[in-house]
Amino acid sequence: MDRGNGAPEQQTFRRFKTGESMWDWPDLSQKIFQADRSYKCPTYVHRTPPCQGSCPSGHDIRGWLAIARGQDKPPVAGMPWQEYAFQRMMEANPFPSVMGRVCPAPCEDGCNRNEVDDYVGINGVEQYVGDWAIEHGLKAPAPGADTGKKVAVIGGGPGGLSAAYFLRRKGHAVTLFEANDQLGGMMRYGIPGYRTPRDKLAAEIGRIVDLGIEVRLKTKVGRDVSIEDLEARYDAIFWAIGAQKGRGLPVPGWGAENCLSGVEFLDAFNRGWVFSTAKRIVVIGGGDTSIDVASVSRRLGHITQHAWHDIPGTHTLGHTAHDVAGTIRREGVQAVLTSLFPLDQMTAAIREREDALREGIDIRGGVMPVEIVVDAAGRATAIKMCQCTMKGATPIPVAGTEFEVACDMVISAIGQMADLAEGLERLDGGKSAIAIDAVYKVKGTEKHFAGGDVVRPNLLTTAIGHARIASETITHFLAGNPQDKRPKVDVHRFDLPQELHARGLDPQPYDHGPVRGTCDGEFALHNYEDRSATQVIAHTALFKGHFPYSPRNKRSERHVDADAVMGDFEERIVAFTEAQAKAEGERCMSCGLCFECDACLIFCPQKAIERVPKKERAIGRYVTTDYKKCVGCHICQDVCPTGYIQMGLGE
């Protein structure tokens, strides 16, 4: 049976193919007979795991999975493991509950466990911990000491809120400007509530604001407050205004009254409006936003009877809008979603595509729009399309395959761009986006920084990652020590000295004088090297034979059939139980860092490896090597499941 990633249900790693054995290795005899002559000895090298390297926010995923599995114990007696995991998550992402639901999880695509059986359910663990933190009223870490610096953050979406959070934690005073009457940005106005439950979103936003952030709602910078005012009053400015303008279709007829962008449609819906005239909707896209648009349109239905308290004369986005609380009767909407790519190559997540098909959405892949058919009144009545093939990202029409799809509304969900009008023109770096340098500083400016969709439309998690990095560069800038480059692997990585400090195991001070017998000194981290800023560990460096088949725990889903979808806005994903979250933590292979399996200690023929005394142990400091006994046989490296051991000592 196929699980969706091309791997069979019972896949597990095999070192040898059928009929082969270890004696077929061409270098085995060389290892056996020359191993004791090697000058190499094991060193412990920390590298970034691919899950974290793939995470746009830079989560220490391996770290909080180690907490879930019970390997990394809370440093405070009596602290629940969920609280400790939450603290670790908050170092890189202040929205674990929301992101655990809506992030498409590139971390899971990069998970090395895919080479064994199936990826670790990272999103499920993140959602579980995020929800637990909300239910138990956990707060954000306290702000740092006051720096006396003031930072303006423009935009109250995931990027702006995250920047405000990280900057406030560093001790800066933060004022957050938001043009809408509520915070949340695309998390609120671009994603329907059945994907981001509003109570969870409100809790995570409130946790950030409670740090002492000044919030100015209904304030559009450029119109209500000028850039010059901000420059005069603040020491630094971070732009996270998103990409609120949808891209129209580049075909004749676009611009008719009943043509609009996916961003406009979702914004209107999330403000509490529904469209009253469209029974047949065609959505052009293929990504997650287009799925959201089509799914929402199916749930809204088609209004055929107006109640007395519908709001007349209110026009939004070229369509009459009505209060969603109105007493109305709806009939089913016929929703067609088209994609340039075939169905199995669409960029939308597999789960989202399957849900859309189940809910009655007609998905047509491998087709491209040619023209909007407009009637005498200037309204779209159909969209002319044709089959196409893809040459890279460019569609090539197939001659003689034209057809029409009748419709009452056409929605373009093919991309977004920033709105840099009304006083923000000087920020436009081209193509309606803000141009930044390597440290997220706006090019050609003195104290402006930017991140998120205003730089390049991407994931919500990407905006959070931009905010984390920019907050660090802003802090350096405010301290008079500006940066000009960032690490190659720019994530919030595991820090062994910090881990030792949290457990009262700091190395002793070093007087910087000559010392003999440094192996016995307590001022250094012996035979340890941190390469996480430059290297991501590949699955080929792991001993994958250590890991037997272990089926992934999957979050249940509340499936909605086509005949029941109308008016159903309840959440579909069923969160993990604690047992499921812990089980997924146990499936993590801890790539690039010791997870205390004892394999090296068991298989060392010279008894050169021993455990660090229990009172001195911490994550990453579990075993040590006696180099007087080691003969460089490489066995410890060969049997290390996580790739933490490297034969080097001088390399």
pLDDT tens across 515-553, in order? 776 677 778 777 889 999 989 998 989 999 899 999 999
How far is CA 180 from its chain centroid?
Answer: 24
Residue 297: CA count within 13 A, CB half-sphere: 29
Tokens of 25: 């290795």
* Phi, psi dihedral angles at 55 (to 5 degrees): -85, 120
Tokens of 381: 């009545």
Q: Which of 156-160, 191-195, 208-212, 229-233 has the lowest mean pLDDT?
A: 191-195
Tokens of 268: 């209107």
Mean pLDDT of 561-584: 79
CA distance linking residue 392 with residue 396, whole number of Å = 10
Strands 245-246 and 302-305 come out as: unpaired
pLDDT band at 569 (very low <50, low <70, confident <90, very high): low
| Helix-strand-coil split of the chain, %, nearest 5 | 30, 20, 50
Q: Which of 265-279, 378-392, 527-541 has the lowest mean pLDDT?
A: 265-279
Residue that wins the pLDDT comparison between 523 and 76: 76
Q: What is the pLDDT of residue 2?
A: 43
Task: Quote the DSSP letter at residue 479.
Answer: T
pLDDT at 319 over 60: no
Round the average pLDDT of the chain to a whole number and report it: 84
Mean pLDDT of 11-37: 61
Residue that wins the pLDDT comparison between 18 and 469: 469
Q: What is the pLDDT of residue 511?
A: 79
pLDDT at 192 over 70: yes
Q: What is the pLDDT of residue 104?
A: 82
